[in-house]
Amino acid sequence: MYDYSTTPRKSSRMPFFLIATVTLLFISLCMLSAAGVTLFTVMSSQRSGVETARAASSNQEIADRQTAPPAREVIVMQPPDGVDYETAVLRAVYEQVNDSVVSITALATHAGVTGFAAPTDDELLPFGTGSGFVWDMDGHIVTNNHVVEGADKLQVTFSDGASAIADIVGVDEDSDLAVIKIDPSGFDLLPVIVGDMDEVFVGMRVAAIGNPFRLAGTLTSGIVSAVGRSIPSQSNFSIPDSIQTDAAINPGNSGGPLLNERGEVIGVNAQIRSEVRANSGVGFAIPIAIVERVVPALIERGRYIHSFMGISGATYSPICSQEQNLAPEQRGVLVQEVIRGGPAARAGVNGATRRIASAHPGICPSTAGGDFITAVNGLSVSTFDDILIYLARYTSPGDDLTLTVLRDGEQREVVLDLAARPNR
């Protein structure tokens, strides 16, 4: 720790001229220091103004305004003697996050709930369970849309057994996310810590906490098996940038957090790939990059508006070079169809003009003649998923998007105005 305090030395015999000289030097130094501080303040103010302007024009205005999980110190402890590192990490993650995770029971008044007699009057009966986690001190809880879909009320149970009734604040079918809210009075809420999607990598150790098979407070662990997956949503659109994990995800885990070894949320557990609706080592989580954009909008206005280009495309492979009249070393996306009346159509993006009998079906598209996208806003793209990920992470309806395309052998830039994603 630095100590900036000083104790002045006393002198009873310092000559007057020396005192005057020291005083003048001191005044000069103060003036120079003040000038330096002023210059630094002006430069900092100028930089701050630029940064503020950039922030104001960003695609995450709502996310920037809305309350996010408050800053909380991440606890990283060294393993005690006799305990291996992985055990110590998982124990620390559980102790840090379990109190933030809740069990959610969906309640409904309609008749015909499987396994229960028909309700009378306004009697609420359970028909599904899932998980969720505390987002902020106001009582907002994040979960999956499919966990709360069809519910009239929701029962939220915390790790200490205390329960509350929650109302739905907002849902988004396209990302399968939902926000519900309890009255926070009397609850010692512990919001989660949000992680950074850019720090997620294949092989990273992860943990999931949730309510599989109604077994509350269950911890499972594994690794990130893949990133950048596109998984189906509850709408006609996929969820890009999703995280694949071999941590055990089972029915009831939906809506719970996927955590890194620091106990930070990097995803919302949503799906499993299994023939028997049980863990097969392939689970998927909605990435925190999408969660951070969608959740604040659901809290503020009850819905999230996704951006829309209006194209369908295919990833280009070198084996398709002759059929597509492109160099084998090129990388990018072949535009196959442009949706009539959509942003891409209005901007003049060209879809495929003819059908072809590809010698490599399943690898090469059966159409040709459309634009070939090589970059989005100056960033190179190699796959169609690259475009979807960029749209999901960084854009909103009304933003301008610049596509770098090859058309008839010439490179062009096409600027389109993104629209709101249609319901279909």
DSSP of 165-219, one letter per residue?
EEEEEEEETTTTEEEEE---TT----PPEE--GGG--TT-EEEEEE-GGG-TTEE
Q: Looking at the domain assignment, is residue 204 inside a domain?
A: yes
Percentage of the chain modeled with pLDDT above 70 = 76
3-state secondary structure of 275: coil
Q: What is the mean pLDDT of residues 201-229?
A: 96
Q: Looking at the domain assignment, is residue 52 inside a domain?
A: no
Count of H-run helices and E-run strands, the chain: 8, 23
User: Cβ contacts of residue 112 below 8 Å, gap of 6+?
Assistant: 118
Residue 317 is which amino acid? S
28-37, 138-147, 159-168, 191-200: range with lowest mean pLDDT: 28-37
Q: Looking at the domain assignment, is residue 45 inside a domain?
A: no
Number of domains the chain is built from: 2
Residue-wise pLDDT for 316-332, tens only, equals 999 999 999 999 999 99
Query: What is the band of 365 on the pLDDT scale with cuts at 50, 70, 90?
Result: very high
Q: Looking at the domain assignment, is residue 29 inside a domain?
A: no
Q: Looking at the domain assignment, is residue 34 inside a domain?
A: no
Q: What is the mean pLDDT of residues 180-190?
A: 97
3-state secondary structure of 125: strand
- Are the C-beta atoms of residues 157 and 141 closer than 8 Å to each other? no
Six-digit token string for 214 = 């109604």
CA dist 183 and 165 (Å) reads 8
Residues 294 and 210 placed together within one structural domain of the fold: yes
Residues 279 and 311 placed together within one structural domain of the fold: no
Q: What is the mean pLDDT of residues 122-128?
A: 77
Q: How far is CA 58 from CA 54, 102, 132, 146, 393, in A?
A: 6, 33, 29, 30, 11
List the catalytic residues: 146, 176, 254
User: DSSP letters along 103-119, please?
Assistant: EEEEEE--S--TTSPPP
pLDDT given at position 74? 57
Instruction: Provide the b/e sequence for 307-318 (b: ≥16 CB within 10 Å).
Output: bbbbbebbbbee
Residues 236 and 146 placed together within one structural domain of the fold: yes
Residues 292 and 194 placed together within one structural domain of the fold: yes
Burial label, 125 (beta-carbon count in 10 A; 0-12, 13-18, 19+): middle
CA dist 180 and 165 (Å) reads 10
pLDDT top residue among 221 and 24: 221
CA dist 323 and 316 (Å) reads 11
Pick from 92, 69, 88: which is nearest to 265 by CA?
A: 69
Residue-wise pLDDT for 79-102, tens only, equals 676 678 889 999 999 999 999 999
Residues 272 and 204 placed together within one structural domain of the fold: yes
pLDDT given at position 60? 55
> In the chain, what is the straight-line distance between the N-terminal and C-terminal CA atoms, in Å?
60
pLDDT given at position 333? 98
CA dist 168 and 143 (Å) reads 10
Six-digit token string for 124 = 């609420």
- Are the C-beta atoms of residues 349 and 336 closer than 8 Å to each other? no
CA dist 145 and 232 (Å) reads 13
Residues 291 and 182 placed together within one structural domain of the fold: yes
Residues 208 and 351 placed together within one structural domain of the fold: no
Count of all residues that appear for the chain in the document:
424
3-state secondary structure of 95: helix
Q: Looking at the domain assignment, is residue 335 inside a domain?
A: yes
- Are the C-beta atoms of residues 129 and 148 closer than 8 Å to each other? no
CATH code of 346's domain: 2.30.42.10
Residues 329 and 273 placed together within one structural domain of the fold: no
Which residue, of 258, 282, 304, is where some domain finishes? 304
67-71, 323-327, 358-362, 416-420: range with lowest mean pLDDT: 67-71
pLDDT top residue among 16 and 207: 207
pLDDT given at position 70? 55
3-state secondary structure of 29: helix
Q: What angle do CA 19, 22, 28 make, to 5 degrees?
A: 140
Is 209 a residue whose pLDDT tops 60?
yes
Residues 265 and 369 placed together within one structural domain of the fold: no
21-30, 93-102, 145-154, 376-385: range with lowest mean pLDDT: 21-30
Is 55 a residue whose pLDDT tops 50?
no
Q: What angle do CA 234, 235, 237 make, to 5 degrees?
A: 115
Which residue, of 304, 321, 356, is where some domain finishes? 304
Residues 269 and 313 placed together within one structural domain of the fold: no
pLDDT given at position 63? 59
- Are the C-beta atoms of residues 246 and 138 closer than 8 Å to each other? no
Average pLDDT, the chain: 83
Residue 361 per-residue DSSP state:
B
Residue 164: domain span: 60-304
pLDDT given at position 66? 54
Is 270 a residue whose pLDDT tops 90?
yes
CATH code of 288's domain: 2.40.10.120
Six-digit token string for 415 = 């600027």
Residues 409 and 334 placed together within one structural domain of the fold: yes
pLDDT given at position 127? 82
Half-sphere exposure of 397 (CA within 13 A, CB side): 11
Six-digit token string for 207 = 């943990």
- Are the C-beta atoms of residues 392 and 290 closer than 8 Å to each other? yes
pLDDT given at position 3? 31
Q: Looking at the domain assignment, is residue 211 inside a domain?
A: yes
Q: Looking at the domain assignment, is residue 294 inside a domain?
A: yes
Residues 224 and 77 placed together within one structural domain of the fold: yes
Pick from 312, 311, 284: which is nearest to 228 by CA?
A: 284
Query: What is the band of 42 on the pLDDT scale with cuts at 50, 70, 90?
Result: very low
CA dist 250 and 254 (Å) reads 8
Which residue, of 257, 284, 304, is where some domain finishes? 304
